Amino acid sequence: MKRRVKVTIEDFTNLQENLNDPAELALYQGANGHTYDAEIEHDGYAIIDLTEEDYIELAPGEYQIMIEEWTAAGAIGAYKLETKSDPADDKSLLYRLVDEGGQVQEERSLSKQAVEQLAKVWFGKPARKED
């Protein structure tokens, strides 16, 4: 599945140890901080085609999925709930409510990790109890 991602490699130590080619390491360093379309594999790794010949493969902690435009996330009563990536923090999402007349309430930023944990608590399947 193709998704928009931002490369957010904080520590290049592992890459330096695993990549033998300095030119290959330079691809990762050059991509860091930029946004691309990536193929997300079933194991969470992202593959980004930088050119027709060059690509990089990112572990789940080395990129953030980005939503660049306000996107409908649902409805709460008479309000539409909208979300997008927080431009001030790659690891957070902005949320806002919009009424039927188009009036926008103040945006709120919430970390993606908090959103994920809340979703697991509220909507995750309970662990099976072993007898």
Q: For residue 16, what pLDDT is reported?
A: 86
Q: Is 69 in contact with 82 (CB distance < 8 Å)?
A: no
Average of pLDDT values for 100-121?
Answer: 93
Domain count, the chain: 2
Q: For residue 61, what pLDDT is reported?
A: 92
Give pLDDT tens digits for 41-97.
999 999 999 999 999 999 999 999 999 999 999 999 999 999 999 999 999 999 999
Mean of all residue pLDDT scores within the chain: 92
Considering 49, 65, 81, which residue would you say is the last residue of a domain? 65
* 7-33 burial: b if 16+ Cβ within 10 Å, else e: bebeeeeebeeeeeeeeeeebbeebbe
Q: What's phi and psi for 24, nearest 5 deg?
A: -70, -40
Q: For residue 76, what pLDDT is reported?
A: 93
SS3 percent helix, strand, coil of the chain, rounded to 5, is: 25, 35, 40
Q: For residue 97, what pLDDT is reported?
A: 96
Residue 130 placed within a domain:
no
Please tell me whether residues 22 and 40 are part of one structural domain. Answer: yes
Please tell me whether residues 61 and 10 are part of one structural domain. Answer: yes
Quickly state the pLDDT bin for 20 (edges 50, 70, 90): confident
Q: What is the pTM of this model?
A: 0.80
Considering 65, 93, 111, which residue would you say is the last residue of a domain? 65
Please tell me whether residues 13 and 36 are part of one structural domain. Answer: yes
Say how far apart CA 96 and CA 72 lie, in whole Å. Answer: 10
Q: Which domain holds residue 77?
A: 71-123
Q: Is the pLDDT of residue 131 over 70?
A: no
